[in-house]
Amino acid sequence: LSLSPSLSPSPLQKCLRFNPDATVWKAKQQVLCSLTDSLRDVLNYGLFQPATEGHDAKFLEEEKMLREYPQSFEKGVPYLEFRYKTRVYKQTNLDEKQLAKLHT
């Protein structure tokens, strides 16, 4: 399985080969080992799958196998982003007061 993880917020993009039977955690470690710059708070980075073809955007769960996720293709290669973890909300009409209550 070849993936092209985009390293957000950097414009850097690499093409890496992963074992589809490996866990997302193992793939994350492989991405971290391939970086030349060190990242702060590396445990809060994760593999992120952008929304495509009816699938919602989400961070991949680290204990699952890579093959458990549908692959989104960009330029013919399965595409993931390696980015700092943030909450991804499906509902866009939440007001800011409700959102603040969720985080307390």
What is the pTM assigned to this prediction? 0.69
The CATH code for residues 2-102 is 3.10.20.90
Model confidence at 14, in pLDDT bands (50, 70, 90)?
Answer: confident
Q: Convert the pLDDT of each residue in 39-67 to its tens digit.
A: 788 888 899 888 877 778 889 999 999 99
Report the C-alpha gap between 39 and 28 in whole angstroms: 13
Report the C-alpha gap between 23 and 2 in whole angstroms: 14
What φ, ψ does residue 7 adopt, rounded to 5°?
-95, 90
Share above pLDDT 70 across residues of the chain, in percent, rounded to a whole number: 74
Share above pLDDT 90 across residues of the chain, in percent, rounded to a whole number: 21
Domain ranges of the chain: 2-102
- Res. 8: pLDDT tops 60: no
